[in-house]
A and B are shown apart, each in its own frame.
Chain A
Amino acid sequence: MTIDPADFNVLTNAFRSIAAEMGDIMLRSAHSSIVREAKDCSTCLTDASGRTVAQSEMIPVHMNSLAAAFDYARQKYDITTLTPEEAIITNNPYENGQHLNDIILLLPVFHEGELCAFTGSICHHLEVGGAVAGSNVNATEIYHEGIVLPTMRINVERDLYDGPVEQILAANVRLPDIVIGDFHAQLSAVLRGRTLVQELAARHGLPLVRECMRELQSYSERMMRETIAALPDGDYYGEDVIDGLKPGDPPVTVRARVHIRGDEATVDLSETDDQVTWPINAPIASTESAVLTVFGLLLGPDVPTNDGTYRPIKVVARKGSLLNPIHPQSLRARMTSIYRVVTAVKRALGGAVPEKVAAAGNDCANIITFSQRGPRGYQMFTESVSGGYGAGAHSDGADVVAQSLSNTANTPVESIEMDHDFIRLRSYELIPDSGGAGRHRGGLGIRRVYEITGDNVLFSRNGDRQDSAPWGLDGGLEARPSATLIRRGNETIPVAAAANVMVRKGDVIVVETSGGGGFGNPAERDRALVLRDLEDGRITPEAAAAVYGYD
């Protein structure tokens, strides 16, 4: 069947709109700040086999992984026997999920009795039970990390809407109203998506819808193949390190070999260190997603990403390694490792084509959680604190911005203080000289200072880059690393990148994020830009003189 060019454009637009509309619904009706402000959720439309056609552009790590859940579902069930009343639910990292906080919901769509598509959503839930509220650096097994929902075929009306699945979920989490609220936002999204696909099929006929889904995947595949073909053939190596468990511990290393052959790429991560005892291990679906994100970044913003995008790329990760751990190893803080997958792969490519790759950014999740168990139940505040972007061949890196795998906004200081009475912000500011120097300067990191104004508050931190720094590219310098410390009276207590600490009323917690790496030789930086940075306090006079040779 040859597709009319207008039909192809119109239906492509419709697919993308459906995914976007599902995303809108989810964001706007969600309960928790992590969804509404941090946009930590995604939606997708797939074909009848569960291959992605279109996704809402929210969180790359989610976007590229939703369909992976299908691979497992297909192994477990014959998905062609699903009925219109059913759906698939999972949060199991060992079944191609992400981490337990990410609940995946996949809804089959039928048109005139025929399975024609799935609508899917994934959402990071604020709390999913486990040993402590927030991320738990002491977890060594997945059982410590919360409730596991295995890949299940469920009946939507019977099992959700206060049915058994929903009740079990609500009974195992500390903030059931918020979790169930967000879960229903997910449900609204996939239900709306289903209606929209059905309307589309009724309007254009299923054969044309199918054909356009296939063609859109081929289109994205062609675009990705062209992107890879533009890279020189060769074998490239890059590595990067993760902070050890305690300050001074040896780092954990991620190693990437990137093989470019014509219009295909293989990324072999097998030489990465073995899995570790704390929860930074990454399930395979997350590892793959991180690699795909780098290639998505090479592709650029305008191209829809879907199943076709991923076809020319192969990812290899050794079972038992940090990037493909063995059950039941803990893995809630997987973002830490997969950010190093991103930076290791970027570093490998940066050696080959520096003009197409930015220097390392802060590239950490930097999750900060404060929780308090009081007479009225749990109160909890979580946010992801961003650092600087890496500089590129044509521009400085952006100051403090959501990093490559995510797109989380900060939470307004006024919202935090309006909603929670146990923390207050002392300051929120850019750190001068924190961006790596270069012909183009890395973006600046920030210092965010919290004051504890209640008792019995647990502070948990899930970050990285305190013992290593984001690297520069093509002669650019590395950025200033991240840091965390607690000021208690006259005492200053350093905190590891991943830690749980009980804090007291009056404690002041200082979180600093790294900037991004620089690009090119700092001596070659345009003097007008050095002066501008100096006037705006982005660099200090000392750095201007010492690093840029400016007087």
Chain B
Amino acid sequence: MIVGIEVGGTFTDLILVGKDGRRTIHKVPSTPSDPSEAAAAGFTGILEKAGGDAVGVEELLHGSTIAANALIQRKGAKTALITTRGFRDVLFIQRADKTHVYDMFYQKPEPLIRRGMAFEVSERIAASGEVLTPLDEAEVASLLDHLANRLGVESVAVCLLHAYANPAHERVIADVAARLHPDLYVSLSSDVSPEHREYERTSTTVISAFVRPTVDRYLSRFEDRVKTAGFPGTPLIMQSNGGVVPIAKARQLAANMFLSGPAAAVTGAADIARACGKPDVISIDVGGTSCDVCLITGGEPHTTVKGTAEFSVDGLPLNVLMTDIATIGAGGGSIAWIDAGGMLRVGPESAGADPGPACYGRSGEQFTLTDAMLLMGVLDAATPLPGNIALQPERSRKAAEPIAAALGLDAEQLAERVYRIAVSNMAQALRRVSVRRGHDPRGYGLFPCGGAGPLIAAALAEEVGMRHIVVPPDPGIFSAFGLAVSDVRIDYVLAQGAIRVEDLEAEDIAGRFDQLRRQAAEELGGLGYPEDELVLSWTVDARYVGQGYELRVAVDPDELEREGPAHLAELFHRQHARQYGHSFPTHRVELISVRLTAAHPRSTLPPQSLAAGEPEPVATRDIVLPGGRATYRVFRRGTLPAGFSAPGPIVVTEESTSTPVPPGWTARVDGLGVLHLERKA
């Protein structure tokens, strides 16, 4: 048995996969004051539901928003920063550019610690790694005494200049701390994010230090509770890179725990995309206030690229390898409004779950995307939403009135326009996310999940020009599914300054690969994952001499050994041309870092059994989509057998959502129970 537990803001979702492939799904309200409480209650609950015993659970996978919450609510540890003398203000100066240019009263993102908590030590290392000014251990000891004894600091971030090239001074500080103040949490920049650019590295290290004690304590509580509930093994914890690690390792990698549910959903999407033969998809996880978009190419989710917004949390850069998820402020709760210039807009303000869209019958009185979908028939007025929310179209109509009147429209006409605008917002963002990463979204399939994903999928695909949609089973609790299919995975990076490719010796590059390979084998071996079972994937970050942004290029160490290191330049030119449309074959290329992702793959889940026989529509429903009004035949997803195929207009409904298949699209169910929507060329 495998159990996945995903803690979200409102609900904690669980999935249990039996040896026979049978899946059990369970949802319990989250307990924000101590999320492990709901997690443990849900664990006991799902075992009861499935008729299983905790002792029979082979693997327990867990995702939590604990790190992100601590940061966003600024409720982390009392943290101090230690820097090279002369540079304590790096964290406060930041990069000095603005996110909006037309703002006379611009304010910077608020750092996690105050300036009074940043301290300097005398030392200096050059870009080459050479020590220019040695570190004085006595000075370090007295500073640490001051922090621990006088200021009551619980966690220390250490970020010294060029420590990525030579971590020796940072290590001395950690050693002195371990000797004198063993209770102090110490995070070194050379461990957390060993790459150049001091602001980004400092920010990452401070984020790690700030949330680490909180994460550590939470994971202890979680482990205790599931042990008490009878689980005999070691829980695996979801990381921002879409993999999991054993709980003991997760305690050290606090900075890698920021994305959990969204990363798990992407991992699930990649798993299904590979399994159903559509390895290039863009996943879009649509919730109440926002949607999360990620590119999956060749079955592999993209990872974060420097210089994009996805590289930061709450405005603060976080430079660890993360699943590259772009969040767009558009979701079911997005509110329609008319701005001061008279333009009809949708979002980014959202009614969320509370007060919620007008049709929820709570205190929400504003017209949202969900209200629009209800009036269009995309949502069925007769079917309550998960959480037993009965929909009230008359409230939607009332909420529409003032806006519709101002534009000379009726409520239904307004609804259509709101839907079109919301879909267009998502389409533009989705396009920008893909193009920024060098890909044309039209070559991809769309992979909708989340409660509202399938509701907008066909319209979104049409707006972007995509012809294939992949709707997974149970799209409403997809993150929990993603947990159940995540590999154990750790990322390694080696950055030692810029080296021109023409100066690289064959043994230099082989030596770098070897160093990372040894590091991975040793660490994962120690965690019980033998080297011969690991899957290694290699990339390098390189750039033209003078360029500031690196490009990530996939490499094969054997090929480089065969072709020689100069072949790197060739691979780089190709990647540059693919991404930007041009390359400079005569310009020099430099290598900045080598990366290794080492994974221990999980065995594939056994397939679910599907319905047999000829399904019958259970009803018909009139739905208005941008292509026009049509009468849709309604099918229950659970009744659809493998090989089912039907042309639109039909709508496929299930517990957590429904998928309209408009005219021009054909629905098909494959052997895995995945619903495909295809549009003829």
Of B87-95, B528-536, B609-617, B670-678, which binds chain A?
B87-95
Of A76-84, A98-106, A262-270, A417-425, which binds chain B?
A417-425
- The residues of B that contact A187 with a CB separation of less than 8 Å are 582
Q: Does A277 contact B (CB under 8 A)?
A: no
Q: Which residues of chain A (386-404) have a CB below 8 Å from chain B?
A: 386, 389, 392, 394-395, 398-402, 404
**A415 close to B93 (CB less than 8 A):** no
Output the least CB separation between A202 and chain B (Å).
11
**B105 close to A424 (CB less than 8 A):** no
**A14 close to B101 (CB less than 8 A):** no
The distance in angstroms between the C-alpha atoms of A39 and B95, with both chains bound, is 12
**A13 close to B424 (CB less than 8 A):** yes
Output the least CB separation between A195 and chain B (Å).
10
Interface-centre pick from A33, A418, A538 (highest chain B CB count, 10 A): A418
Q: Does B307 contact A (CB under 8 A)?
A: yes
Interface-centre pick from B97, B197, B409, B498 (highest chain A CB count, 10 A): B97
Q: Does B546 contact A (CB under 8 A)?
A: yes
The distance in angstroms between the C-alpha atoms of A305 and B87, with both chains bound, is 38
Contact A222 B342, CB 8 Å, known A6-B416, A417-B126 = yes
**B580 close to A188 (CB less than 8 A):** yes
Q: Which residues of chain A (501-538) have a CB below 8 Å from chain B?
A: 532, 535-538
Q: Which residues of chain A (1-50) have a CB below 8 Å from chain B?
A: 4-6, 8-10, 12-14, 17, 20-21, 24-25, 27-33, 36-37, 39
Contact with A along B420-435 (1 / 0, CB 8 A): 1100110010011001
Contact A6 B420, CB 8 Å, known A20-B432, A395-B105, A419-B546 = yes
Q: Name the residue on A nearest B197 (C-beta).
A: A412
**A395 close to B197 (CB less than 8 A):** no
- The residues of B that contact A410 with a CB separation of less than 8 Å are 93, 95-96
**B98 close to A392 (CB less than 8 A):** no
Q: Does A169 contact B (CB under 8 A)?
A: no
Of A56-64, A245-253, A319-327, which binds chain B?
A56-64
- The residues of A that contact B98 with a CB separation of less than 8 Å are 401-402, 407
Q: Does A367 contact B (CB under 8 A)?
A: no
Q: Does A408 contact B (CB under 8 A)?
A: yes
Contact A9 B127, CB 8 Å, known A57-B101, A222-B342, A223-B340 = no
**A220 close to B341 (CB less than 8 A):** yes
Interface-centre pick from A9, A395, A399 (highest chain B CB count, 10 A): A9
Output the least CB separation between A36 and chain B (Å).
4
Contact A536 B417, CB 8 Å, known A24-B435, A222-B342 = no
**B196 close to A412 (CB less than 8 A):** yes
The distance in angstroms between the C-alpha atoms of A9 and B417, with both chains bound, is 9
**A418 close to B102 (CB less than 8 A):** no
Contact with B along A424-442 (1 / 0, CB 8 A): 1111111000000000000
Q: Name the residue on A nearest B127 (C-beta).
A: A417
- The residues of A that contact B200 with a CB separation of less than 8 Å are 412
Q: Which residues of chain B (157-203) have a CB below 8 Å from chain A?
A: 161-162, 164, 196-200
Q: Does B142 contact A (CB under 8 A)?
A: no
Contact with A along B563-580 (1 / 0, CB 8 A): 000000000000010011
**B104 close to A14 (CB less than 8 A):** no
Output the least CB separation between B521 and chain A (Å).
30
The distance in angstroms between the C-alpha atoms of A197 and B635, with both chains bound, is 41
Q: Name the residue on A nearest B463 (C-beta).
A: A10
Q: Tell which of A220, A398, A536 touches B115, judged by Cβ atoms closer than 8 Å.
A: A536
**B498 close to A419 (CB less than 8 A):** yes
Q: Does B277 contact A (CB under 8 A)?
A: no
Of B106-114, B287-295, B658-666, which binds chain A?
B106-114
Contact with A along B127-161 (1 / 0, CB 8 A): 10000000000000000000000000000000001
**A59 close to B101 (CB less than 8 A):** yes
Interface-centre pick from A226, A386, A425 (highest chain B CB count, 10 A): A425
The distance in angstroms between the C-alpha atoms of A392 and B105, with both chains bound, is 6
- The residues of B that contact A60 with a CB separation of less than 8 Å are 101-102
The interface size bin for chain A is 35 or more
- The residues of B that contact A58 with a CB separation of less than 8 Å are 101
- The residues of A that contact B416 with a CB separation of less than 8 Å are 6
Of A86-94, A294-302, A488-496, which binds chain B?
A294-302
- The residues of B that contact A33 with a CB separation of less than 8 Å are 546, 548
Interface-centre pick from A29, A185, A223, A424 (highest chain B CB count, 10 A): A29
**B307 close to A6 (CB less than 8 A):** no
**B547 close to A30 (CB less than 8 A):** yes
Contact A418 B93, CB 8 Å, known A9-B345, A33-B548 = no
Of A176-184, A279-287, A456-464, which binds chain B?
A176-184
- The residues of A that contact B579 with a CB separation of less than 8 Å are 28-29
Q: Does B560 contact A (CB under 8 A)?
A: no
- The residues of B that contact A131 with a CB separation of less than 8 Å are none
**B576 close to A29 (CB less than 8 A):** yes
**B199 close to A400 (CB less than 8 A):** no
Q: Does A191 contact B (CB under 8 A)?
A: yes
Output the least CB separation between B630 and chain A (Å).
19
**A25 close to B116 (CB less than 8 A):** no
Q: Name the residue on B nearest A185 (C-beta).
A: B580
The distance in angstroms between the C-alpha atoms of A296 and B105, with both chains bound, is 13
Q: Does B605 contact A (CB under 8 A)?
A: no
**A9 close to B424 (CB less than 8 A):** yes
**B436 close to A418 (CB less than 8 A):** no
Q: Does A357 contact B (CB under 8 A)?
A: yes
**A300 close to B546 (CB less than 8 A):** no
The distance in angstroms between the C-alpha atoms of A486 and B421, with both chains bound, is 58
Q: Does A413 contact B (CB under 8 A)?
A: yes
**B587 close to A181 (CB less than 8 A):** yes
Contact with A along B61-103 (1 / 0, CB 8 A): 0000000000000000000000001111110110111101111
Q: Does A236 contact B (CB under 8 A)?
A: no
**A177 close to B546 (CB less than 8 A):** yes
Output the least CB separation between A441 and chain B (Å).
13
Contact with A along B399-423 (1 / 0, CB 8 A): 0000000010100000011001100
Contact with B along A172-205 (1 / 0, CB 8 A): 0000011001001101100110000000000000
Q: Does A168 contact B (CB under 8 A)?
A: no
- The residues of A that contact B115 with a CB separation of less than 8 Å are 430, 536-538
The distance in angstroms between the C-alpha atoms of A449 and B85, with both chains bound, is 12
Q: Tell which of B87, B307, B344, B546 touches A9, judged by Cβ atoms closer than 8 Å.
A: B344
Q: Does A409 contact B (CB under 8 A)?
A: yes
- The residues of A that contact B342 with a CB separation of less than 8 Å are 219, 222
- The residues of B that contact A4 with a CB separation of less than 8 Å are 417
* Extra pairs beyond A20-B432, A430-B93 (7, CB < 8 Å): A17-B431, A28-B549, A36-B548, A299-B102, A305-B102, A358-B104, A401-B98
Spell out A's residues near B (CB within 8 Å): 4-6, 8-10, 12-14, 17, 20-21, 24-25, 27-33, 36-37, 39, 57-60, 63, 177-178, 181, 184-185, 187-188, 191-192, 219-220, 222-223, 226, 296-301, 303, 305, 356-358, 386, 389, 392, 394-395, 398-402, 404, 407-410, 412-415, 417-419, 424-430, 446, 449, 532, 535-538
Q: Can you show 15 pairs from A to B with CB atoms below 8 A apart?
A: A8-B343, A9-B424, A12-B343, A13-B424, A30-B548, A181-B584, A187-B582, A188-B581, A296-B102, A392-B105, A408-B96, A419-B498, A428-B93, A430-B92, A536-B114
The 8 A-B residue pairs with the shortest CB-CB distance, nearest first, are A427-B86, A36-B548, A301-B100, A6-B417, A409-B97, A29-B580, A536-B115, A5-B344
